[in-house]
Structure 1
């Protein structure tokens, strides 16, 4: 099943709800399809401009590897199997906040990227939003 715009907007809504509920700072939310192309995006009021690209790059990292960006990023460290791979594909981001999206049948459908809060908060927001997608399918 493909990720629809309506589903992507639901992921964004879940992320925004979680940010407000937790009292986190405003974030950018980037949703990519299974081919790592942009499908939906939101920039909450007051978010730093730099987070636009970072949210996209986190989502792209998760989409290209079908894995969470922090898990992929562990391979980018000195001495790791893919040291400096973050310089490929127009730039990858290997910290928390990029999460692969799966449908109810556990098929990969895309990725969400969050940036603007702490790395831990970005990851929590992305995981919450991803779980909202799985719960609504």
Structure 2
């Protein structure tokens, strides 16, 4: 399965709906396919300049490392030199903060969602809500 524009837009709509229900700060949300190509993106009014870049780096990090950015951030605590090296090797195209979550279909990675704008915890909660709203299983259900 490839990640369609319709599916990506549904993920974003669900994530932004969750953000408004939580009274989150303005978010940027990006959905990438498994190759790291942007499928859909939304930036809420008031989201600051770098939010797209951070959201994309969260999604790219999840795809590139094969796990959510929450898991990656935890791993980085125990091996900071390695993860600093990863950041340098990929030209900074990775962010080790919650909010980057893999999109899976039948267990296969088909893309990732990255969100930036509020706390990492809130960003991640909105990403998971977006996945659920679009009918995808969350990573914790894999």
Q: Scaled by the length of structure 2, what TM-score is found?
A: 0.86
How far 1:98 moved relative to its partner?
0.2
Q: Scaled by the length of structure 1, what TM-score is found?
A: 0.89
Give the aligned partner of residue 67 of structure 1: 67
Give, in whole Å, the separation in 2 of the partners of 1:83 and 1:61: 11
Alpha carbons 1:32, 1:111 under 8 Å: kept? yes
Corresponding position: 1:106 with 2:107: yes
How far 1:90 moved relative to its partner?
2.3
| Pairing 1:32-51 to 2, within 5 Å after superposition | 32-51=32-51
CA displacement 1:86-120 (0-9 Å, x = unmatched): 223121111100000012x2221100000001111
Please, which runs of 5 or more residues in structure 2 have no aligned partner?
A: 138-142
In structure 2, the CA distance between the partners of 1:135 and 1:33, relative to structure 1 (3 Å rule), is closer
Please, which runs of 5 or more residues in structure 1 have no aligned partner?
A: none
| Pairing 1:77-88 to 2, within 5 Å after superposition | 77=77, 79-80=79-80, 82-84=82-84, 85-88=86-89
How far 1:51 moved relative to its partner?
1.0
Please, which moves more after superposition, 94-103 or 77-86? 77-86
What number of residue pairs does the alignment pair up? 135
Give, in whole Å, the separation in 1 of the partners of 2:76 and 2:46: 31
Give, in whole Å, the separation in 2 of the partners of 1:58 and 1:18: 19
